Every structure is written in structure tokens, then in C-alpha cells.
Chain A
Amino acid sequence: MDVLLLSRLQFAFTIAFHYLYPPLSIGLGVLLVIIEGFWLITRKPLYHQMARFWTKVFALTFAIGVATGIVMEFEFGTNWATYSRYVGDVFGSALAAEGIFAFFLESGFLAVLLFGWDKVGPKLHFFATCMVAFGAHFSAIWIVVANSWMQTPAGFHIVGQGLSARAEITDFWAMVFNPSSMDRLSHTLMGAWQAGAWLVVSVGAFYLLKRRHREFALASIKLGLIVALVSSVASLATGHRSAQGVAVNQPAKLAAFEGLWKTGPQAPLHLFGWVDASHEVTHGPEIPGLLSWLAHGDASAPVQGLRDTPPADRPPVNFSFQLFHLMVAVGTLLIVLAGWAFYLCKRGRLEHARRTLWLLTFAVLGPQIANQAGWWAAEVGRQPWIVYGLLRTSHALSKVVTAHQVAASMIMFLAVYSLLFAVFVFLLNDKIQHGPDDADLVDPYEKIGQSLAGVKGGAA
């Protein structure tokens, strides 16, 4: 195998593995803020118990997210040195901002969130929880901005020619608010909220099925379902906006997502199907005009097909098509499931709806599949470009790195990440089987609260 293929495989594998965890941290972070906020207001011991339990799960996902995240920053330089030289002036500043604004915030206040229960007052602890969640969102902002710049470059000019050509910033804010960044950011964050929310729902549903921790389970499901419902509907809206942006900014990508070959009005939408790229046809049931209507709000509006893009500049069509359709299908199912379960929950019937509870238990995989498929679709659909229209992926490699070296590191990552994943599953299962701690059904601040009464309000 050649360096290009190995480097792409390695990056795909390491980013896909990494991307299992930050969405969980972001989503769980939001739920932790809500739970601890409720606890501060109501002082119900149940909310305290929930906060402690979900904090432990959060710590687990966060640790692996950090450990696998450093790899990503290194890989830009180790495997994609030409790319790094080309984009450093633009991309590097977003990455540096991420470090200074987001990572320090997360990791610093995480210490208080995890170990600070008996060291600081409840308000300061809540503040720390908010800062961790805020930091997690902030880190998503900068990396999605940087990635969106690769999809829709803006606010830069090219200096130098040939091998020494590189992008330089001309307008920082135009780079940050490039045409796709806000749509993609909102869509990514909603996917992340779903990942966290469905994990909470899933564990709650599992407890109800096993007739354990009833109060804890019901409260977790209720809260999780509200966040899941809001974020899954918002995913639909932000995804729609994002796709409309793709139609304008990256027409070849949209055409690949939908297997559209011929440019024209009344462009059809395939519900599912199979693309035969060698014969330039797409098989499967289609709804005429729907793609035109979705992309441009008008069924008679023309949509650009793949034939308008030279074959050398087309992404892998069938792969993009399947990934995109998988994401949409799973996302849609999650909306239906969230709505149905929420209805049962409101009616007080969810506890006895065992089949639905089983569905909810396995629904934790849904947002992970959709997030992965969506991210893969976005990246595969951008090919053959690493920076859309500017730099080809095949030109972006490190010139001095050999196939043997990448093969060696790839084997290392496969081994290490398999071990990490096995340990993660083992420990998560351990925590879930162990369940929420009854010792947490107390107010840790009762004693401290009395001694702090004199300086009340000073803590926050």
C-alpha cells in the first residue's frame, strides 16, 4: 500500500475513534449543567445523586477524548506536512485559539468538577460545571471553524507559486464566519447533544427493564428525552440549512450525496439506492423535484449534477451517497423514537412499554452512527480536495515519511485503540452495573453549608 492510502486510513481511523468521545462530553456536559442547576434550585437529593453518577461517566469519556485528541494535533504535522505548511497561517490560528480558549478552560475546571465537591461551595462547583460544558462547546467551535474553512475557504489569499504556494489570512472574521462554519457548527453541536442525551436515556431505560433504581431511571429518561427531542429536531433544521449551503458552495458534494448525474430542474431525491458510478446511473426509488425543492426551496430550480464536474474532481460517489443516506435515515428514526417515547413518558406509560424501553436502550448507538456517518460524508464528499478547490489530498502528504513508517504507526494505533475501546466498554459497563450510589443521596454541603453561612454568596 502507498503512503497516501495509509495516511488517509490512519487519519480516518484515529479521527473516527476520537470522534466517539467529544460528542459524548459535549452532550453530557449540557445534561450535567441542567441536573446540577435543578439540584441547586430544588436541593432534591435525587438530582445530587444523578449529578455524581453522570460526572463519573463524563470523566471516563473525557479522559479518552483528551488522550486521543493530542494524536489529532500531532498528525497534521507528522502525516500531512505539506498541508500544514499550506494552511498553517490560517488553520493554525484557529487551532491555537482552541488551545488557549477552550482546552485550558475544560481541563482546569474539570478538576473542580471531579474532585472539588468538598473543596468549594455549591455555587462555585456549579460554575465549574458550566465552564467545563462551555469549554467543550468552545473546542467544538474552533475545530469546526477550521474544518469548515477547508470546505469553504474564505478570508485568505494565496502567496507564492507551485510548491511554495500557501494560504495567508487577509480577514480573520471572514475566515471564522466562512460560508459553511455556522451551519456546520450548529449541526455538529446538535449531534453532540444527541449523543449525550441518548446515553442518559439508554442507561435509564436499561434500569427500568431490569427493575433497578426506578426513581433515578425515570428522572434520567425524562431529562434525557427532552434534550434528545429538542436536539434531534434541531439536527433536522441545522442539517437542512447545511445541505442548502453545500448545494451552493460544494455542488459536486451535494450531487454525490444524492447520486445526481444530470444538471437540471425537478431534480429528484432518492430515498435509498445504489450508485453505479461507471455507468453514471443511480438506482432506487426517487421523488421527482424534491431535491430541487429542498436545496433551493423551488421544485423547478436547477441542481448541478456530477457530469458538470470533471471525473478527476469527483468524490467517491456511492460511498458518499450511502454515508449521507445512513445519517439522514438514522437521524429521522431518532426523531420518531424520541417523539414516541416522550408521548409515552407524558402519559406515564413508558415504564411498562418494554419493547420501547429495549429500543431506547439500543438507541445510544443511533447518534454515534449518525455522527460518524455525517462526519465521514462531509469529509469523503470533499475529496479529492483536502482544502476545497485549492489543495488536493494527494499533494498534502509529508514528503519524508515512508509507507513503512505509516504502516508501523497504523498498527500501533490499531492495537492501542482496540485496548482503549475494550477498557472503555468494560469500565462503562462496570459503572452502569454498579449504578448510582445511594451514599450520594445526601447533601454534601449540609455541614459545609453551615460553616460557610457567614460568607454566603461569596463562593460564586
Chain B
Amino acid sequence: MSAEPVLATIWFALVGVLFTGYVILDGFDLGVGVLHLAAAKSDGDRRIFLNAIGPVWDGNEVWLVTGGGALFAAFPAVYATVFSGFYLAFMALLCALIFRAVAIEFRSKHPSARWRRFWDGSFAGGSLFSALLIGIAMGNVAWGVPVGADGEFSGSFLGLLHPYSLLMGVTTVALFAMHGAIYLVLKTEGGLQRRIRTWVNPLIIAFILCYAILTLATLLYVPHVTEAFRREPWFFALVIPVVLAIANIPREVNRGEEFRAFLSSCAAMAGLMAIFGIGMYPNLLYSNPAPEHSLTALNAASSPHTLRIMLTIAAIGVPIVITYSASIYFIFRGKVRLGRMSY
């Protein structure tokens, strides 16, 4: 291979890594939001939920911003087609993200019950809706969307809401809720922790059910995603650690090893994203029908010069980001304690 396909493939992987970082990290704080109304009943419990993600949710969301920026820079054609094609869906996602972001900040700033109820609703609704829309978007990327010969989206908004994408949306909500519940077990103690523990197993089961149906649907109706696994059966080896990681979660929760349970959940999500990425490669936006119009890592990439510049930027920036992000998670480790500066 010449330099160009190699670089494009590296960037396909790097954009994948950024979005994986996003779903793992923002996944748990969106999941906390999904559970906010259902699992936390009193004002005190809800404050603990918010403060469990308080110091980190903002940094987690930056993974989305940076992932979007990297997509813009490395694959401008994909960024342009997806963002303009999914116009109303992305506007709804923005609305949901804005509401949940400011709800976290605003809720604690006024003591009245009505004020807090409103922002509780915004936080929970915004989180649920964000998770659902992210899942629906991924469902469409996997299923494929109509792309014209000019590389533009040629479908409609309602066309994006088909059973497969909705199933992916629901699966994503279940996955994030499960991930969030495990994170909350890690950050809480006492009676609240006992109550959240009872949520973990049902959420794992809900996720596994959704995922099983989704996988079946993928095998039956989305052959291009399973193509890579037919061609290179050893990719199947990836499925084993994912299954083991998910199976390990209830075991660690029951043993009281919450941190290991959380790591297992993170590992499972990374594995799921890797499987998704392998299934998609080299397509970034699969065209359905008319696969010949698909936007791929090879036909939609920026110039090799730009990809090389960005590789330098990433090589300098990403290790620094990971180092201080890890330090910040370390500083805020342990159970949530409400203080004067808390939300």
C-alpha cells in the first residue's frame, strides 16, 4: 500500500478511538441521567448523582467535540454529508445536550422545589434523548442511508427512523443505563448504593436482550457489516473478551469489587465499538441502496499532508490529554461527599 491508504486507515481508527472514548466516558454520565428520575427519589440522592459526575462530565463531552473536529478534518465529506443529512436529528441532539449540560450547573443554584423538579426533568430527559439519538445515528450509519452520486444524503428525516435504527437506539440507552448504574455503585455508599445495586442486574439483562435481538437483525438484514467477519473469521475472537467482560460485571458487583465491575463495563464497550468499526471498515457512511456511492476512509479523506499534520498534533496532544484526564479522575476518586461547593 502507498502512504495514502495507510494514513486514511490510521485516521479511520483514530476517529473510532475518539468516539469510543466518548461513548465509554460520556456513556456513564448519560446513563446516570437516564436513571436520575427513576433511581434517585430524594433531593439528597439526586445531588449525589449529579456530584458523582460533576467534576468529569464536561471533560467527557469534549470527546464528542474532538471526535467531531477530527471527522471534520480527516474526512470532511463524511462530516458534511452526515451533519447536513441528519439535520433535524442533530438539532434535536443539540437541544438535548444543551438542556442536560445547563441542568447540571443550574439545578443547585436555587432551593425551590419547582426549580429543582424542572432541571431534574431536563437532566433526565436530555440524557435519555441524547443516548437514544446517538444510538439511532449509529444504527443508520450501520444500516446505510441513501447517498446520491454527488455524495449528498438523498433520504428524509423520517426515513432515518426505521426499526433497525430504533432498536440500536434502545440498545444504546440500555447500555448507557447499565454503565451509569455501575459507575454509581462505585461512587455511592450505604442505603443508596444498595438500592442502585438492585438496578444493575436487570439493566445488564435488558442490555443483553436488546443486543441479542440487534445482533440477530444485523446477521439477517445487514450483511455488509458481517462481511468482514465472514472474510476474516479470526475477527470473531474479539467477541469472546466482550462476552467475558459483560459476564464479569455481575460477578464483580456481587463481590463488592465495584471498580473492577466498572472497568469490565468499559472494556465491553470498547470491544463493542471495535466490532462495530471492523464491520464498517472501510465505509464511514454506507450507501443503501447503491453501495457504490458509499463514503469510505479512502474516497473521503483529506490530503495525506493534512492527515500527517493531524497525526503529529494527535501524537503530541493525546498522551498529554490522557495523562491529565487520568490524574483528574484520580483526584476525584472515592465516594461522593457533599460539600459547600457541590452541586
B327 nearest CB neighbor, chain A only? A108
Residues of A within 8 A of B313 (CB): 93, 96-97, 100-101
Residues of B within 8 A of A91 (CB): 72-73
Interface of chain A residues 380 through 410 with chain B (CB within 8 A): 398-401, 405, 408-409
Chain A interface size range: 35 or more
If A168-B303, A439-B340 touch, whether A77 touches B106 (CB-CB below 8 Å) is: no
B317 nearest CB neighbor, chain A only? A100
The one of A59, A64, A117, A409 that contacts B91, using a Cβ cutoff of 8 Å: A409
Among the stretches A81-89, A228-236, A250-258, the one at the interface with B is: A81-89
The one of A105, A109, A172 that contacts B309, using a Cβ cutoff of 8 Å: A172
Residues of B within 8 A of A90 (CB): 306
Tell me if B80 is interfacial: C-beta within 8 Å of chain A.
yes
A92–B341 contact, CB under 8 A?
Answer: no
If A66-B58, A92-B76 touch, whether A405 touches B87 (CB-CB below 8 Å) is: yes
Residues of A within 8 A of B34 (CB): none
A63–B302 contact, CB under 8 A?
Answer: no
B77–A108 contact, CB under 8 A?
Answer: no
Among the stretches B39-47, B62-70, B134-142, B265-273, the one at the interface with A is: B62-70
Tell me if B259 is interfacial: C-beta within 8 Å of chain A.
no
Among the stretches A67-75, A192-200, A207-215, A362-370, the one at the interface with B is: A67-75
Mostly, the B contact residues are helix
Interface flags, B131-159, vs A, CB<8A=1, else 0:
00000000000000000001011100100
Bound complex: CA A110 to CA B62 (Å): 13
B59–A74 contact, CB under 8 A?
Answer: no
Chain B interface size range: 35 or more
A427–B84 contact, CB under 8 A?
Answer: no
Interface flags, A25-69, vs B, CB<8A=1, else 0:
000000000000000000000000000000000011001101111
Residues of B within 8 A of A163 (CB): 150
B58–A110 contact, CB under 8 A?
Answer: yes
Residues of A within 8 A of B332 (CB): 111, 115-116, 119
B321–A100 contact, CB under 8 A?
Answer: yes
Bound complex: CA A90 to CA B104 (Å): 35
8 examples of A-B residue contacts, CB within 8 angstroms: A93-B73, A99-B65, A99-B66, A100-B321, A104-B325, A108-B325, A112-B55, A169-B306
Which 3 interchain pairs have the tightest Cβ spacing?
A88-B76, A77-B83, A92-B73
Which residues from chain A sit less than 8 Å from chain B, CB to CB? 59-60, 63-64, 66-71, 73-74, 76-79, 81-82, 84-85, 87-93, 95-101, 103-105, 107-112, 114-120, 159, 163, 166, 168-170, 172, 398-401, 405, 408-409, 412, 416, 420, 423, 427, 430, 439
